[in-house]
Amino acid sequence: MDTITLMPVTLSDVARLAGVSEATASRVLNGRRYVAEMTRARVEAAAHQLRYVPHRAARDLSLARTTTVALLVHHAQYPSGGEGTFAARVLDGVARALDERGYDLLYLAVGDDAASRLRSLATVHEGRADGALLLGPAFPPEGIAALGATGRPIVLVDNRAPGVDAVLADNRRGTTRLVRHLVADHGYGRLGCLAGPPTWPSTVERVSATRRVARAAGADVRVVHARETTMRDGADAILRLLDDPPDAIVAVNDAMALGAMHRLRSLRGVRHPAIVGYDDIAWAQLADPPLTTVSVDAAGMGAAAVSLLLERIAGVHGSNQPAREIRVPVTLRLRSSCGCDDDSSPPHGRAEDGG
Domains annotated on the chain, with CATH = 11-63 (1.10.260.40), 68-167+298-328 (3.40.50.2300), 171-296+331-352 (3.40.50.2300)
Distance between CA atoms of 132 and 158, rounded to whole angstroms? 14
Q: What angle in degrees, to the nearest 10, is found between the helix axes of 37-50 and 22-29?
A: 90
Contact 335, 344 (CB under 8 A): no
> What is the pLDDT at residue 57?
40
d(CA 76, CA 169): 18
Per-residue model confidence (pLDDT) at position 23:
75
Q: Which pLDDT does position 3 carry in this prediction?
A: 35
> What pLDDT shows up at residue 4?
36
Nearest Cα residue to 119 out of 74, 163, 154, 166: 154
pTM across the whole model: 0.76
Closest CA to 284 of 249, 333, 331, 246: 333
Please, are residues 194 and 224 in contact by the beta-carbon 8 Å criterion? yes
pLDDT score recorded for residue 262 = 95
The reported pLDDT for the residue numbered 108 is 82
For residues 198 and 176, give the distance between their C-alpha atoms in angstroms, rounded to a whole number. Answer: 19
**Helix-then-strand count for the chain, H and E:** 12, 13
| Nearest-angstrom CA–CA distance, 251 and 278 | 7
pLDDT of residue 64: 58
Q: What is the pLDDT of residue 31?
A: 67
Q: What pLDDT is attached to residue 61?
A: 46
Model pLDDT, residue 124? 62
What secondary structure does DSSP assign to 89-121, as a single string?
HHHHHHHHHHHHTT-EEEEEEE-HHHHTTGGG-
Q: What does pLDDT average to in each consecutive run of 10 residues of the chain (355 residues)?
A: 49 88 78 75 88 54 69 70 70 89 84 64 66 91 84 92 95 98 97 97 97 98 95 96 96 96 92 95 92 96 94 74 93 96 55 56
